[in-house]
Amino acid sequence: MANIFDYLDWRGDVPFNIDPFNEVDALALCELVYAPFDGLVPGPGLKEKISIEDLNKKFFEKFTEEGLMERTALTKLAPFIMPKMAKSKRFGGMKLAGFVNDVDAKKQTQFAVCSFYLPDGTIFVAFRGTDDTLVGWKEDFNMCFSEGTGGQLQAADYLNTNFARTMKKLRIGGHSKGGNFAVYGSTFCRGHIQDSILEVYNFDGPGFIPEVLRKPAYKAMINRVHKFIPEESIIGMLMYTEAKMQVVVSDAKGINQHDPMSWQIKRNKFEQVDAVTSSSVLIDEVIKKWAVQFDYETRAAFGDVFFSSLISSSGATRLSQITSSKVRSIASLTKEIQTLDPKNQALILDVFGKLVAAGGDSLKHSLLSKLPKSLIMRKNEK
């Protein structure tokens, strides 16, 4: 079994003029953008650049291996592909610029991106996926009712601002929410910039609400989109897409397949299977069946109430602060729900209840059983 690290060992000595840019190269760059580049990679703007060799040296002077491994993020291994890239013929001499990392609670936006100047003369723009902030997860939820979240709009603006006059060919990509940003930004940037885009890579990123898919700009771009999802995909199956989905073999299980480091590679391609698993299909059907029961206004209201309850009940700003103490967080959250005004309390219970109904018996003990009996009885009395 082989992953990105193995690929860089095997193919790192093969330059792009021998073996052109491929899907695994794209995933490696989309993984690297998860590294904490703040204060190291120049940005915003593309005038100043740093080579991968200089960045690698400065990065590991700033961070220790032990400190990086203590991070709770699913993508904590991302920085460790940097030394292999810096020493390789394939990525050696690559320059980085235009790094932005913006988390804005008021705008409910979590946005990060970096531009990579490759030895083959092209530029790869990689959008980061969801980080550990609750703001980032709230923006993910906003995608289920919005035609343009703050981060999606920033993705298009980033391309418009930085590549209005470029003569180079572009490739755009991202993992998870970053994949969604890559598609959205490429779709809604200016026409002459779209003409420079060779390909768009969406690695297990969610789709869009139907209104986005109906737009002419989306239909014009979709044939350049490559979407890859693992066998037990959950995130990448959310909402709707017209892109052809290619299913990648993973050596992980369940939601852990979302980690790109678990994706299996053979030579310069992903190992693939014909379809996702039955469990992935079932989860997708349950979520879509549940979602169609609510209009966009109700979805937005639920998100506002739920996330504000989550934050106020735990005092957390990061998801890891909640998941590190699951029992305590559930207890504090349910207590917070009981303090809501009757209208908002009914909204929360209605959404949870319909999720259980859409999922059948399998969800009853995993969701409603965690809510206080007094709340369940109150809901049943309505």
Nearest-10 crossing angle of helices 326-338, 296-314: 120
Kindly write down the DSSP assignment for every residue of 171-215, as one continuous string: EEEEETHHHHHHHHHHHHS-HHHHTTEEEEEEES---B-HHHHTS
Structure tokens at 325: 């103490």
- DSSP-assigned states of every residue in 286-333: HHHHHHTTS-HHHHHHHHHHHHHHHHHHH--SBHHHHHTTHHHHHHHH
Q: What is the pLDDT of residues 54-76, one digit of tens each?
A: 999 999 999 999 999 988 778 89
Distance CA 55, CA 347 (A): 49
Range in 188-192, 277-281, 350-354 the model is least confident about: 350-354
Mean pLDDT of 355-364: 64
Which tens digit of pLDDT belongs to each residue from 216-229?
Answer: 999 999 999 999 99
- What would the mean pLDDT of 170-199 be, rounded to a whole number? 97
Q: What is the mean pLDDT of residues 291-306?
A: 88
Band (95; pLDDT cuts 50, 70, 90)? very high
Residue 319 has pLDDT above 90, yes or no: no
* CB 91, CB 119: distance < 8 Å: yes
Please report the beta strands in 60-164, taking only residues with DSSP state E, as ranges in sequence order: 95-104, 109-117, 123-127
- Measured torsion, CA atoms of residues 5, 205, 258, 107, in degrees rounded to the nearest 10: 100
Does pLDDT of 253 surpass 80?
yes
* Percent of the chain's residues with pLDDT above 70: 86
pLDDT at 327: 45
| Measured distance CA(256)–CA(254) in Å, rounded | 5
**Average of per-residue pLDDT across 355-373:** 56
Instruction: Report the pLDDT value the prediction gives residue 188, as an integer from 0 to 100.
Output: 98
Neighbours of 267 (CB within 10 A): 12
Q: Which helix (H) or strand (E) holds 227?
A: strand 225-230
Residues 6+ apart with CB under 8 A from 359: 286, 290
Answer with the residue of higher pLDDT: 3 or 255. Answer: 3
pTM metric for this prediction: 0.88
The C-alpha atoms of residue 47 and residue 179 are separated, in whole angstroms, by: 25
Question: What's the mean pLDDT in 19-27?
Answer: 98
Whether the per-residue pLDDT at 178 is higher than 70: the answer is: yes
CA-to-CA separations, 79 to 163, 260, 339, in angstroms, rounded: 27, 13, 43
Give the whole-number percent of the chain exceeding pLDDT 90: 67
Q: What is the structure's pLDDT at 367?
A: 46
- Kindly report the number of other CB atoms within 10 A of residue 288's CB atom: 14
| pLDDT higher than threshold 90 for residue 302 | no
pLDDT of residue 132: 65
Summarised one tens digit per residue, pLDDT across range 185-198 is 999 999 999 999 99
Q: What is the mean pLDDT of the chain?
A: 88
Going by pLDDT thresholds of 50, 70 and 90, the confidence category of residue 131 is confident
Q: Mean pLDDT throughout 365-374?
A: 48
Domains in the chain, CATH or no CATH each:
4-277 (3.40.50), 293-381 (no CATH)
pLDDT of residue 366: 45
Among 5-14, 61-70, 365-374, where is mean pLDDT lowest? Answer: 365-374
User: Does residue 364 carry a pLDDT above 60?
Assistant: no
The C-alpha atoms of residue 258 and residue 75 are separated, in whole angstroms, by: 10
